[in-house]
Structure 1
Amino acid sequence: MRLVLFDIDGTLLSSGGLGKASMQRALTEVFGSPGDPAYRYDGKTDKQIVRDVMRMAGHSDPHIDAKMERLIELYLDGLYAGIESGKFSVTPLDGVNALLAALGARKDVVLGLLTGNVETGARAKLTAAGIEPEMFRVNAFGSDHELRPELPAIAQRRASEKLGLSIAGDRVIVIGDTPADIQCGRALGARAIGVASGQYTVEQLREHEPYAVLPSLGDTVAAMKTILDA
C-alpha cells in the first residue's frame, strides 16, 4: 500500500494569485503591512508565512501569536470573496484530473494531501478548481503544524488512526512543485517526486535530489509509472 500525498498550489491547481492577494490583505488589516514583497510564499505553510513576514517587519512572536487566529479568519474571508467574485481563475493543472482518477481507482493507493494551506482554505481552493476534496482520504494541512517537515508524519499517523493502515515511511510518496515538498519527508524516509509546474524548473528541483522530477502531471502514463515505481 502506498500513501500518495499531493501538494495543492502549483501542483494540483493554480489559483491565479488569489492566496497571496488574500494573505497580503489580511496582513495589512491586522498588522498594518503586507510584509516584504520579495518574500516567497511557495513551499510554506500559511502560518509560517505570517510568522516569517511579520518577524521581518519587527513583530515579536507573542504579538504574532495573539493575532494569528484573527488573521487566518480574514485570510479565509478574502479567499472566499475572491472565489465568488470570479476575479481569480482557480483551475486544475494539466493532467491532474486524469491522474487523480487513475490513482483513485487503485486498491493499493491511498490518496492524500500534504499542503501548507489551512484545511478550510485547502478545501475551498480544491472545490473552486472542480477537484473533489473527499477523494483525499488522509491529509496533513498547514493548520496541523506551522512547519512543513512535521506534516508527513502527521499524515502517516492518520493513515493508521483513520484507516487502520501501517504504512512505512518509504511507502509514503510526497508530490509537489517546490524544494520544500522534496525535503519535508526526508526524516520519514518518504519518496519525493518534484513537479515543475510551479515556480521551479526541472533542473532546479533536481538539485534537491528527489526520487524523480516530472515536467508536469500532464502525461498520465508517465506520472503513474513514476509514482508506482517509487
Structure 2
Amino acid sequence: MRPTVLLWDIDGTLLSTGGAGRRAMERAFARYADRRDACEAFSFAGMTDRAIIRTGLETVGREATEDAIDALLAIYVEILAQEMSLAGDTRVHAGVIEALDAAARRAKCAIGLGTGNVRAGAQAKLTRVGIYERFAFGGFGCDHERRDELLRIGAARGAAMLEAPLEACRVVVIGDTPKDIAAARAIGAESLAVATGTYALAELAACAPTHSFTDLRARGALEALLG
C-alpha cells in the first residue's frame, strides 16, 4: 500500500469558527494600527495569516515589514485565544470525524495539517472542538507565507513520519478554496475539494481539483481521500 500524507486545511474545511478568526484579526489591527477596518475589503479564504496581515497593513498605508507582521501576529494569537474561548457557534464540518477515524485506521497514512494559520492559531481553533491531537504534524502559516511552500514543508514532514521518501508518497491536500487546489497542483499533490466553506461545488470543480464533493459524507469521498 502506497504511503499517504493527508494535509488538511482548517477554516471552511475541518471547521467553522463562526467568524472568530476575522474578529480576532480586526481587534488586532485596532490595537496595533487603530484601524479595525484594515481587512474589510478582502476575503480571508485560502490566505495565510501572514498574507492577511501584510495585505491589511498595506491597505491602511502602513509599511508591512517582517517586524510589523510578527508584532501584529502576536497580538492576533493572543486575541484569537480569547475569541475561541467565547465562540459558541464553532462546529466541525459534516463527515470530518468519520474521515479522520477512517484515515487513522489506514496503514501507512500520516494525518497532518496544511493551513495558512500559524501553529498557535491552529492549536487554538482545533483545541476548541477537541481535534487538535489528531494531527501529528503540519505545514503552517508560520512556516511560509505562500500556501504552496507551507504545503511542501508539511508534505516533507509527513513523509519523514512515515519513514518514506517524499517522492514515494501519495500526498492529498484537503481544502475548500481555489487557493488550496492551486497550491496542491503546484507541489504535485492530489487535491480533494469540499464545498463546506465559502465556495460552491461548481466553483471548486471549475478549478479542476483531483476530486470535489459537497462534503466528506458524499458518496465516494472517503474512497477518494484514502485511495
The two structures share one fold, judged by TM-score above 0.5 = yes
Label 1:137 to 1:165 Cα distance change in 2 as closer, same or farther (>3 A). farther
The residue correspondences of 1:72-151 to structure 2 (distance < 5 A) are: 72-85=73-86, 87-131=87-131, 133-151=132-150
**Residues 1:49 and 2:52 aligned together:** yes
How many pairs align?
A: 224
CA contact (8 A) 2:94 2:216 kept: yes
Label 1:165 to 1:7 Cα distance change in 2 as closer, same or farther (>3 A). same
Q: What secondary structure, in the 3-state scheme, does the structure 1 residue paired with 2:166 have?
A: coil
CA contact (8 A) 1:173 1:192 kept: yes
Label 1:123 to 1:176 Cα distance change in 2 as closer, same or farther (>3 A). same
Decide which moves more: 89-98 or 155-164: 155-164
1:163 Cα deviation after fit: 4.1
Residue in 1 aligned with 2:17? 15
Decide which moves more: 149-158 or 5-14: 149-158
TM-score by length of 2: 0.92
Residue in 2 aligned with 1:194? 193
Partner amino acid, structure 1, of 2:83: G
Q: What secondary structure, in the 3-state scheme, does the structure 1 residue paired with 2:202 have?
A: helix
Residue in 1 aligned with 2:165? 166
Partner amino acid, structure 2, of 1:31: A
Q: Distance in 1 between matches of 2:88 and 2:51?
A: 24
Residue in 2 aligned with 1:222? 220
Q: What secondary structure, in the 3-state scheme, does the structure 1 residue paired with 2:6 have?
A: strand
Q: State the 4+ residue runs in structure 1 displaced beyond 6 angstroms.
A: none
TM-score by length of 1: 0.91
Runs (5+) with no aligned partner, structure 2: none
Partner amino acid, structure 1, of 2:225: I
Residue in 2 aligned with 1:157? 156
What do the CA deviations read for 1:50-106 (whole angstroms, capped 9, x no partner)?
0012112222233xx222222112211211112223x44221111111110111111
Identity of aligned residues (%): 36
CA contact (8 A) 1:169 1:188 kept: no
Q: Distance in 1 between matches of 2:88 and 2:145?
A: 26
Label 1:164 to 1:127 Cα distance change in 2 as closer, same or farther (>3 A). same
